[in-house]
Amino acid sequence: MAQSNIPKLGYPCLASTDASVFLVGLQYAPSASNNTYALQSYSVSNDRHLASVNVTFAPLSTPRVATPLANSRMVCAVDNVSGTFLYIFNENVYLDNALTPALATPQPIGTWDATLALNAQVAWPVQGQPGQFQWLGLNGGNWTTMTISAAGGVSPPIPA
């Protein structure tokens, strides 16, 4: 049986490229107070012939914390071309990319409307636009699309 070091995470979300699987979720820190958790991301090789699975922690320059709510949800997607990993949890949108920092955001994207995270939503990479994602979700009861990227932030909503 294969061995692994897969961490226990709350609100886990998986996205994969041809070479890696990306995992993000909340991890409880014993020193945390007020139900605050560390938002952690990891990567795993997508090689099916491994005898063991080694999960690699993706350290962040700025610690990310989150407080789960009764209606919390995690949405994530990865751009196979650039390796940019998008994840949305409650009021924050993050973009991680260890190889190309210009496609990542050290802080959450400030132009995100926090109320959108509470509604039905999905995200996927935009073909031919490295590090850029399309978001589809409910906005004011109407289906809406937006583009998300490190360079452009969150675009204005477009009715779907």
The torsion defined by the Cα of 151, 96, 127 and 75, in degrees rounded to 10, comes to -110
Residue 38 tokens read as: 């560390």
- Sign for the CA dihedral angle at 129, 62, 7, 12 comes to negative
The predicted model gives 132-152 an average pLDDT of 94
The DSSP element (H or E) to which 136 belongs, if any, is strand 133-139
- List the chain domain ranges: 3-159
Is pLDDT at 137 greater than 90 in this prediction? yes
Residues 86-123: pLDDT tens digits?
A: 999 988 899 998 889 899 998 889 888 888 887 889 99
Residues 25-71: pLDDT tens digits?
A: 888 766 656 677 888 888 777 776 666 666 776 666 566 888 888 88
More confident residue, 146 or 29: 146
Burial (Cβ within 10 Å: 0-12, 13-18, ≥19) of residue 73: middle
Q: Out of 6-10, 20-24, 44-48, 95-99, which region has the weakest mean confidence (pLDDT)?
A: 44-48
Is pLDDT at 82 greater than 60 in this prediction? yes
CB of 126 within 8 A of CB of 133? yes
pTM (predicted TM-score) = 0.84
